[in-house]
Amino acid sequence: MRVFPARTDVYTAGTPADSLFIISEGVVKSFRDLPSGRRRIAAFFFARDLFGLARAGRYVNTVQTLTPVRVDQLSFDALTELFEKDPGLELQFLCKTIHVLRETQHHNIIMGRRDAVGRLAMLLRLLQTQDGPADGHPDVPIPMTKSDIANYLGLSLEAVVRASRRLERQGIVEFVGRHHARIIDRQRFEALASNV
Amino acid sequence: MRVFPARTDVYTAGTPADSLFIISEGVVKSFRDLPSGRRRIAAFFFARDLFGLARAGRYVNTVQTLTPVRVDQLSFDALTELFEKDPGLELQFLCKTIHVLRETQHHNIIMGRRDAVGRLAMLLRLLQTQDGPADGHPDVPIPMTKSDIANYLGLSLEAVVRASRRLERQGIVEFVGRHHARIIDRQRFEALASNV
DNA sequence: CGTCATTTTGAGGTATTTCAACGAAGGTGG
DNA sequence: CCACCTTCGTTGAAATACCTCAAAATGACG
């Protein structure tokens, strides 16, 4: 069990991978900086999410905390040992990997939309359901910056800002401070966040 | 082992899932039709790829063959049995699932690009590396239609056509017939297909 | 050889990107 | 505790790229 303050690196892209991580509490972003200077956020991970899957022995993304985070760090050595003792454990990891796959597919669906407002709405709904099992809670915590949101949605920062404004002007969502939103008109919000 | 002719459904979205599939030979597309009438292709699968992962007991996408296809169909019943006999098998599935995850992440990277030409180049490179281990083969088979490509890249059909034309006019790629391309200028092609 | 799906091309509309400049917030150090 | 400073957010105007609509050409298939 390790603890990280907000805005610190858990690991850096390209470094040799030796562990998997499972979030106990907090939120992280997984991203890569491209040669052009653009940053692409591949995923946000929340409590109980698995991250650290490597390719060719190295981490492909940098993972950075957005909030204070507690993670279970599982070294590969320890894992192979655990797998031998308890074969059922592999199934656990398979399930968690499939969950990551589903989230990535959902990200794909978001990116497939051509309208900025729709993409933003889908991210907000993701954060909403992530918040708690209490489905339909109108208050949505937004742990990341708008710049992060832009990099996740594949939009420019300005486009995210304008989409936020439009959601407000239309009375669908209200942004209070930088890290909270409130769903005003659930009906129209769900209509927007539907998979077109 | 089952065999499907080209352009036939392997299974339909929403039907109860009872099997996983591993492609022995051929190419399939995995897609969903949205209420708006749009079609989103989530992935193309090739030899040795795994597909059929379900959510809540039902297939989420429709899978249709692009070419004649041979698949190994593994019913869940048979799988649980096999897993008990050979725990190492689970690891095989974990690896294949991670491979699907990587492909999905790659798709995300493609969709993150804003230029149609760049997206098309990345798909062509995917098909190129898929073709054979002979990396750098200039001839690229294109088993899907341009309409499929559009639905995969999140572009309109016309945008795909114009991107193809531009690649030709610039002497980077040559399209011969509907199902083959040839890389003319490898240098500039790789530059385009890089993760900008 | 005819029919149908697919592809191609053109013209106009629209959304996002870019560029630039300003305002606000949060963190740091004195 | 305040001032500074860096990052983040906001707004406007112009350019670009893609989308949509419409019509014609090409190719596949029976």
**pLDDT tens column, B13-57:** 999 999 999 999 999 999 999 988 899 999 999 999 999 999 999
Asked if the model's pLDDT at residue B66 lies above 90, the reply is yes
* pLDDT tens figures, A53-76: 999 999 999 999 999 999 999 999
B120 and B104 within one domain:
no
A125 and A73 within one domain:
no
From residues 103-122 of A, list those within 7 angstroms of strand C by Cβ.
114-117
B149 and B76 within one domain:
no
Query: pLDDT band at residue B88, thresholds of 50, 70 and 90?
Result: confident
A140 vs A124: CA distance, rounded Å: 7
- The reported pLDDT for the residue numbered B134 is 66
HEC per residue, A115-169: CHHHHHHHHHHHHHHHHCCCCCCCEEECCCCHHHHHHHHCCCHHHHHHHHHHHHH
Which residues, other chains included, contact B194 with Cβ-Cβ below 8 Å and sequence gap of 6+? A35
Q: Which of B62, B83, B110 is the last residue of a domain?
A: B110
- The reported pLDDT for the residue numbered A71 is 96
B30 contacts B85 by C-beta, under 8 angstroms: no
B104 and B182 within one domain:
no
| Alpha carbon distances (Å) from B18 to B21, B57, B59 | 10, 8, 9
Query: pLDDT band at residue A86, thresholds of 50, 70 and 90?
Result: confident
Using C1' positions and the CA of B115, the closest nucleotide is: D17
- The reported pLDDT for the residue numbered B65 is 97
> Which of B55, B94, B82 lies closest to A93 in space, CA to CA?
B94
B132 and B187 within one domain:
yes
Pick B102's closest partner by Cβ from A55, A98, A108.
Answer: A55
Section A143-163 average pLDDT: 97
Asked if the model's pLDDT at residue B168 lies above 80, the reply is yes
Tokens of A15: 């470094």
Any idea what the CATH number is for the domain that residue A77 is in? 2.60.120.10
- The reported pLDDT for the residue numbered B130 is 86
B130 vs B133: CA distance, rounded Å: 8
* pLDDT tens figures, B94-151: 999 999 999 999 999 999 999 999 999 999 999 999 876 666 788 999 999 999 999 9
- The reported pLDDT for the residue numbered A106 is 96
Q: What are phi and psi of B170, to 5 degrees?
A: -85, 0
Section A128-150 average pLDDT: 87
Q: Which of A63, A95, A110 is the last residue of a domain?
A: A110
Asked if the model's pLDDT at residue A145 lies above 80, the reply is yes
B118 and B106 within one domain:
no
pTM: 0.94
- Sort A102 into a burial class: Cβ within 10 Å, 0-12 / 13-18 / 19+: middle
A121 and A67 within one domain:
no
A189 and A99 within one domain:
no
Instruction: Please name every residue paired with A55 in a beta bridge, in sequence order, or none if there are none.
Output: A58
A9 contacts A59 by C-beta, under 8 angstroms: no
Q: Are strands B69-75 and B2-4 parallel, antiparallel or unpaired?
A: antiparallel
Å: B51 CA to D17 C1': 35
B106 and B123 within one domain:
no
B120 and B96 within one domain:
no
B22 vs A64: CA distance, rounded Å: 36
A34 and A16 within one domain:
yes
Section A67-87 average pLDDT: 92
Q: Which one has a higher pLDDT value, B6 or A88?
A: B6
Per the structure, the complete domain to which residue B150 belongs is given by 114-194
Chain D bases near protein Cβ (<7 Å):
8-13, 17-22, 27-28
Å: A125 CA to D8 C1': 23
Any idea what the CATH number is for the domain that residue B189 is in? 1.10.10.10
Asked if the model's pLDDT at residue A133 lies above 80, the reply is no
Q: Which of A76, A110, A144 is the last residue of a domain?
A: A110
- The reported pLDDT for the residue numbered A134 is 66
Query: pLDDT band at residue B83, thresholds of 50, 70 and 90?
Result: confident
> Which of B49, B126, B90, B40 lies closest to A107 in space, CA to CA?
B40
Q: Which of A130-134, B82-86, B118-122 has the least mean pLDDT?
A: A130-134
| Alpha carbon distances (Å) from A9 to A12, A14, A36, A42, B92 | 7, 13, 22, 15, 31
A95 and A41 within one domain:
yes
Q: Which one has a higher pLDDT value, B26 or A130?
A: B26
Q: Residue A84: what residue type?
A: E
B188 vs B178: CA distance, rounded Å: 23
- The reported pLDDT for the residue numbered A131 is 72
Percent of chain A with pLDDT over 70: 98
Q: Is the dihedral of CA B50, B55, B61, B63 positive or negative?
A: positive
Å: A129 CA to C27 C1': 31
Structural domain tally of chain A? 2
